[in-house]
């Protein structure tokens, strides 16, 4: 069983966060240290430590990350101009919290690289 992270507490609303979306599969909230005018973190409610730990049973949940990203990009007004989706894996990939998560970033031109 994967260890719980700070994201587990956000999912259960045990610590304050600006949750923009939550259903039975995923939760999305504003990043506390935004790297762009819009910076939302979208996570599966199930703890999956890294992309390397994804199983075939997780495909529906991971698809939901993308449909929620699309919905939030439209809601945040960044869909038309464009946005970036980022997932990091392990230390060399820049992963800091070992509960997979997707960053939705936009609201300004992001250039060739944003994080890293």
- Measure Cα distances from 90 to 7, 39, 73 in Å: 17, 21, 26
Residue 103 is among the residues annotated as catalytic for this protein: no
List the catalytic residue out of 39, 99, 101, 103: 101
* CA R_g for the chain: 14
Gap between the Cα atoms of 116 and 114, Å rounded: 7
Residues labelled catalytic: 101
């Amino acid at each position: 069983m994967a260890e719980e992270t700070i994201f587990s507490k956000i999912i259960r609303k045990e610590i304050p966060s600006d949750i923009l979306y939550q259903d039975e599969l995923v939760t999305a909230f504003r990043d506390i240290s935004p790297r762009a005018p819009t910076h939302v973190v979208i996570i599966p409610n199930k703890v999956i430590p890294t992309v390397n730990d994804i199983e075939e049973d997780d495909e529906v949940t991971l698809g939901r990350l993308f449909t929620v990203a699309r919905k939030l990009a439209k809601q945040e007004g960044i869909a038309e101009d464009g946005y970036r989706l980022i997932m990091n894996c392990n230390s060399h990939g820049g992963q800091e919290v070992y509960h997979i998560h997707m960053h939705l970033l936009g609201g300004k031109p992001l250039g060739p690289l944003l994080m890293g």
